[in-house]
Amino acid sequence: MSRWLYTAVGVCLLPWLVVYLQWRGIRQPAYRRHWGERFRGGGKGRNAFSGQERAGMPILWIHAVSVGETRAAAPLITQWLGDAGQAARVVLTHSTPTGRETGAHLLDDLIQAGRLVQAYLPYDLPWANARFLRWAQPTAGLLMETELWPNLLSSAQRRGLPMALINARLSERSAKRFNRFSALSRPALSCLGLVVAQSAADADRLRAAGYAGEMVIAGNLKFDVLPDAAQVERGRAWRALWPRPKAWLVVSSRDDEEAAIGQAWVEANPRGTPADTPADTLLVVVPRHPQRFERVVQILEKAGLRVMRRSAGLSLGAEVDCLVGDSLGEVASYVAATDLALVGGSLMALGGQNPIEVCAQGRPVFFGPHMFNFQAISRDLSRAGAGFEVRSASEWIAHARELVANGPAYRDAATAAGSFASQHRGAVDRTYLALMSWLMDSRSAGPRPPTAARS
């Protein structure tokens, strides 16, 4: 598919995007806001920062799609603004309301000081990209992980804007998709001046996909996101209130996989049986997407579980089988309150979710057979004795029960999880050094000459 055909398809999809945003807005009203940023590009005012042309301030633009990327980008943002001087500014873009809310919470002091503004990255349409770049007027742009948008990168290249991909990853499945659409992916990769990859395997796949520029392997930024101490303490306080002595977590569940989990839990714990079943264990389920909170409650109740919502309080009676975490920004508290975790999105062919936040608090991690978006991490966790692959929810319950019953084995797995997380930290410093070198080279070379648009 050539870029002009890709653009034509995008234009044809505009009515569907309106319907999609309206539908998402039913359960998550934030999706109904800031439509101008999504469809036209830019934010409030003529420019992101007043007096921008006159001051000639350095402006770094970072695109962090959702919550995980925003949390990973926050240390880089604060470090760069601290080193670049009071004139430096940051434009932080997102694709989801939860990502935007996370950025507003983590970086509120910088927003209040006028040093950082937030906006949605527009849909990948030429006019929206052009308007966004005129509004933001960045000195350089950073995209995170796999966010390669053909029209956006082409627009940046025509303006001589240096662009980098940081915390870059490319799974085997995504690499096959890149090869299938090489007419789009190769020109997009050629617009990048730097790629900071998570691993050597990611770097190799990106090179095989067509990237030929500067490459640095720095590790995963998400390992450097430490659990918030206040949240950890809050989670421990929750646990002290719960009547059941054990608690297991299902984190970032997706696409109704809770039905199989609820059914397996009930089958493993028929009422009136001895306490060697999970009768002494509270199930805690934290859905990935807030618009699914109510549906998840209904699914688990239908499976036969007695459910309580986090929003209803935390004074759980002994009759409560399951707590549904229908709150935002409290994952660290849920991890702190539980003994181990099953990573959502992995029992079904959804690619899994990031297990780093779990092992960072020294909790054994379980995951299903479909962790293809986090293949290297899940493999390394298994090798370290901190992670365990299971084929089903029933197998998770059986394996977790055996682990918890064997005190030394559980303690070894918990220690291995914490050690695994600490050994992989340092990506922020390595990424920052690579970016500083690249930015200095970009400034000394001057703006890149505009090039002809690629088809």
| Catalytic annotation present for 69 | yes
Q: Do the Cβ atoms of 347 and 217 come closer than 8 Å?
A: no
State the SS3 of the chain.
CCHHHHHHHHHHCHHHHHHHHHHHHHHCHHHHCCHHHHHCCCCCCCCCCCCHHHHCCCEEEEECCCHHHHHHHHHHHHHHHHHHCCCCEEEEEECCHHHHHHHHHHCHHHHHCCCEEEEECCCCCHHHHHHHHHHHCCCEEEEECCCCCHHHHHHHHHCCCCEEEEEECCCHHHHHHHHHCHHHHHHHHHCCCEEEECCHHHHHHHHHCCCCCEEEECCCHHHHCCCCHHHHHHHHHHHHHCCCCEEEEEEEECCCCHHHHHHHHHHHCCCCCCCCCHHHEEEEEEECCHHHHHHHHHHHHHCCCCEEEHHHCCCCCCCCCEEECCCCCCHHHHHHCCCEEEECCCCCCCCCCCCHHHHCCCCCEEECCCCHHHHHHHHHHHHHCCEEECCCHHHHHHHHHHHHHCHHHHHHHHHHHHHHHHHCCCHHHHHHHHHHHHHHHHHHHCCCCCCCCCC
Q: Do the Cβ atoms of 378 and 367 come closer than 8 Å?
A: yes
List the end-to-end C-alpha distance of the chain, in Å, as a whole number. 9
Structure tokens at 356: 């780093």
Torsion of CA 423, 428, 429, 431, to 10 degrees: 120
* Rama region for 362: left / alpha / beta (φ>0; ψ in -120 to 50; rest): left
CA distances from 23 to 37, 85, 119 (A): 18, 43, 21
Structure tokens at 204: 């190799």
Q: Which of 69, 258, 330, 389 is catalytic?
A: 69
What are phi and psi for residue 316, nearest 5 degrees? -85, 135
Report the catalytic residues: 69
